[in-house]
Amino acid sequence: MLRLEKFSIGVGDRFAHQAQAQLRACTLAAERGITVIPVWNKSNREHSIIGSQPSSVRAAADAAVRELNWNGPYHVDADHINLDSVDRFLPSSDFFTIDVAHFIGHPADPATVDDFVDEHPELIGTIRIPGIARPMMMTPESVAAIASKYLVGIAEAGRIYRFIESKKGRANFITEVSMDETDLPQTPPELLVILAAIADEEIPIQTIAPKFTGRFNKGVDYVGDVRQFTCEFENDVAVIAHAVGHYGLPATLKLSVHSGSDKFSIYAPIASALVKFGAGVHLKTAGTTWLEELIGLAEAGGDGLAIAKQVYEKAYVDREALCAPYASVIDIDPARLPSPSEVRSWTSEQYIAALRHEPTGPDFNPHVRQLLHVGFKVAAKLGDRYLAMLKACQEPIARNVTYNLFERHIKPLFLAN
Ligand SMILES: [Zn+2]
């Protein structure tokens, strides 16, 4: 089986121009003795909005790896796929994130639930898991309730996994199951039942993306109770270790944190949980690199700054349509968005101060940042003009992309201890 390393970072690269700058952040970690491997992820939704093909992600990743002589592993993630969308990802991806969120809550057939409960007597009663202070108490009814909620989705994950396996061969890809895009977080007992069911489906899962408590808004810091998050995260890590031991799941199995970029206030708790349990983690970042592109363009001044302002202006005008698909993962107060005419008067420094993710900066504007985060469609519509500007302003862009991934993400998560 293709094994995923202990520490990995999902690097989204919407316009496929920053793979080298992203990989450089991993080489900086390597120079400090920590292996953090890059996984280039791009969802079907992003491809559809931009009009790109999955093969472009692979091509950009391969080129970056050659240029920088990266000797470590690296992967290309077909992010959030299902049976309808997986086909075009098959040739170029070696990592598949099977999304079952839509199936959660579709009640499973009662006979299937009964069979599951009968086959899993170990889930009933008092379950003591090292690292979790209070034992879990499970009854046949509570296990049945969880099974009913999740078995349909996990059966679907099994079908998708087996389809991919039939095309790629068992040894040639990494499997993630995601259920983050749903309303309620999964509790540790739910995670345990889910993992038992995934083992029943014989899915060699290496990463699982639950929904965590709190808000993971796009491009900005975590909003929620950090202590509760920490407790839940540690419990999930403990449940995973327990499930690996009991159900023969791959020893590499770890949590995957989606919308993980820019969640500065939870990186320290995650880092200490990793040390406490000797666990790994996969952190998916998507739009944070695209925002650094805008920062680099603004920093370049001249035509670069002009196009960065144009993106804001169009995003401002189209904000309702742009925000709609992301409604559950952004919190934008339109009253806090500066008008396009105001932004037109901004200097490079003003644009950067509003956008760059320095949450305590006096001019930082999380509303601007979130709007631009979902505004990549505007840049996509600019087409070659935008791409030409990326090339013309490559130096400041690359510097900001690398700095952001290394200093704000990799360092606090993987190099803190
Ligand atoms: Zn996700």
Cα of 304 vs centre of ligand 1, distance in Å, is 31
pLDDT at 219: 95
In a domain, 320, yes or no: yes
Is the domain of 57 the same as that of 184? yes
Residue 2 lies in a domain: no
pLDDT, tens digit, 9 for 90 and up, residues 350-362: 999 999 999 999 9
Residue 205: inside a domain: yes
Residue 104 alpha carbon to ligand 1 centre in Å: 15
> Do 272 and 369 lie in a common domain?
no
Ligand 1 centroid – CA 149 distance (Å): 19
The pLDDT assigned to 198 comes to 98
Q: Which of 311, 292, 288 is nearest to 300 (CA)?
A: 292
Do residue 108 and residue 152 come from a single domain?
Answer: yes
Query: Among 256, 314, 290, which residue's Cα sits nearest to residue 77?
Result: 256
For residues 160-187, average pLDDT: 95
Same domain, 30 and 91: yes
pTM above threshold 0.85: yes
What DSSP character marks residue 333? -
Is residue 322 domain-resident?
A: yes
pLDDT computed for residue 286 by the predictor: 83
Residue 316 lies in a domain: yes
How far apart, in whole angstroms, are the C-alpha atoms of residue 100 and residue 97? 9
Report the relative pairing of strands 95-99 and 281-285 from DSSP bridges. unpaired
Residue 1 lies in a domain: no
Question: Where do runs of H (alpha helix) occur along 69-123?
Answer: 110-119
CA of 246 to the centre of ligand 1 (A): 27
What distance in angstroms lies between residue 99's CA and the mean position of ligand 1's atoms? 8
Rounded distance from Cα 256 to ligand 1 centre (Å): 9
Q: Which pLDDT value is given to residue 81?
A: 96
User: What's the CA dihedral at 43, 48, 49, 53 to 10 degrees?
Assistant: 80
* 188 & 207 share domain: yes
| pLDDT per residue as tens digits for the range 8-32 | 999 999 999 999 999 999 999 999 9
Q: To the nearest whole percent, how much of the chain has pLDDT over 70? A: 100
Q: What pLDDT sits at residue 326?
A: 87
Range of the domain at 259: 7-288+406-414
Q: Which residues of 378-415 are buried (b: 16+ CB within 10 A; e: fewer)?
A: bbbeeeeebeebbeebbebbbbbbbbbbbebbbbebbb
Q: Is residue 93 part of a domain?
A: yes
Same-domain check for residues 60 and 161 = yes
Residue 327 confidence (pLDDT): 86
Whole-number Å distance, alpha carbon 258 to ligand 1 midpoint, is: 5
Q: Nearest CA to 200 among 234, 243, 138, 255?
A: 243
User: What does the pLDDT average to over 236-251?
Assistant: 97
Which amino acid makes up residue 125? G
Position 331 pLDDT exceeds 90? yes
Q: What is the pLDDT of residue 11?
A: 97
Q: Do both 295 and 284 map to the same domain? A: no
pLDDT at 231 exceeding the cut of 80: yes
User: In 318-408, which ranges are continuous DSSP H helix?
Assistant: 319-323, 340-344, 348-355, 366-374, 376-382, 384-392, 394-403
Output the pLDDT for position 284.
97
In-domain check, residue 96? yes
Domain shared by 298 and 203, yes or no: no
- Please report which confidence band the pLDDT of residue 281 belongs to, taking 50, 70 and 90 as the band edges: very high
Percent of the chain whose predicted confidence (pLDDT) is above 90: 95
In this model, does residue 417 exceed pLDDT 80?
A: no
Same domain, 105 and 218: yes
pLDDT tens digits, one per residue of 368-383: 999 999 999 999 999 9
Say yes or no to pLDDT of 71 above 90.
Answer: yes
State whether 336 and 245 are in the same domain: no
Q: Residue 334: what pLDDT?
A: 95
Tell me, yes or no, whether 384 and 240 share the same domain. Answer: no
Residues 270 and 324 in one domain: no
Residue 294 neighbours by CB under 8 Å, 6+ apart: 308, 311, 355, 372
235 neighbors 188 (Cβ within 8 angstroms): yes
**Span 273-295, mean pLDDT?**
96
The total domain count for the chain is 2
CA of 344 to the centre of ligand 1 (A): 34
Whichever domain contains 106, its CATH number is 3.20.20.70
Query: What does the pLDDT average to over 88-113?
Result: 96
Which helix (H) or strand (E) segment holds residue 10: the answer is strand 7-11
